[in-house]
């Protein structure tokens, strides 16, 4: 296949996963993040890379956001929201983060393939992405040509960008207002 043919297939796969996300859960996700005093973001592997991009965009919006595990991340309390990206929903370190957040009364939002996972059972909001992954017991309703969990990881990143756009609309913000918080020590 050519690069253009691959691109067409990948875009069809992304359209499939993103248009099947439950709109009610997406709205609840945005409401939860919008109402939080602080947003803590956690993920492992490639999902960890995706969630860092989400934390950055929240910061650009003026929302206090942190990446779990970074040295300058404060403690979470009952006013915080923990956003976890985990295809399987059962990564041990992320389960531990969810349990700790629940202990202190924080809210939990999970982006996952598996809505029956240990983290999903603790979560206040579960955004399910129907994509395959070798680590998830649940495989979604599409077979991807992409390796391993790539479709899920791309879909979660794009969903979080969509959530940012929904937040921007709620807060009457645009890219120009957000750019004022862009890093100036690059």
Choose the catalytic residue: 13, 38, 153, 156: 153
Q: How many other CB atoms sit within 10 Å of the CB of residue 80?
A: 21
Q: In this structure, what DSSP letter does residue 139 have?
A: -
C-alpha 171/C-alpha 151 separation (Å) is 30
* Residue position matching structure tokens 């970074």: 70
| CA separation for the pair 51, 158 (Å, rounded) | 11
CA-to-CA dists, residue 5 to 18, 36, 131, 144, 149, angstroms: 20, 42, 20, 14, 20
Is 8 tagged catalytic? no
Helix (H) or strand (E) holding 84: strand 80-85
Burial label, 50 (beta-carbon count in 10 A; 0-12, 13-18, 19+): buried
How far apart CA 122 and CA 137 sit, in angstroms, is 18
Tokens of 44: 């492992």
Chain length of the chain: 186
Residues serving a catalytic function are 153
């Amino acid at each position: 296949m050519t690069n253009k043919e691959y691109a067409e297939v990948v875009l069809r796969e992304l359209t499939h996963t993103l248009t099947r996300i439950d709109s009610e859960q997406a709205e609840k996700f945005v409401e939860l993040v919008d109402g939080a005093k602080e947003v803590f973001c956690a993920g492992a592997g490639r999902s960890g890379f995706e969630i860092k991009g989400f934390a950055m965009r929240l910061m650009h919006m003026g929302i206090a956001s942190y990446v779990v595990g970074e040295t300058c991340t404060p403690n979470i309390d009952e006013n915080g929201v923990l956003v976890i990206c985990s295809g399987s929903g059962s990564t041990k370190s992320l389960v531990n983060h969810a349990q700790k957040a629940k202990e202190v009364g924080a809210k939990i939002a999970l982006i996952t393939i598996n809505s029956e996972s240990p983290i999903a059972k603790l979560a206040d909001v579960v955004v399910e992405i129907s994509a395959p992954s070798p680590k998830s017991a649940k495989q979604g309703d599409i077979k991807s040509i992409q390796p391993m969990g790539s479709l899920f990881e791309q879909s979660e990143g794009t969903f979080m960008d969509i959530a940012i756009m929904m937040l921007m609309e709620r807060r009457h913000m645009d890219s120009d207002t957000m750019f004022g918080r862009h890093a100036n020590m690059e």
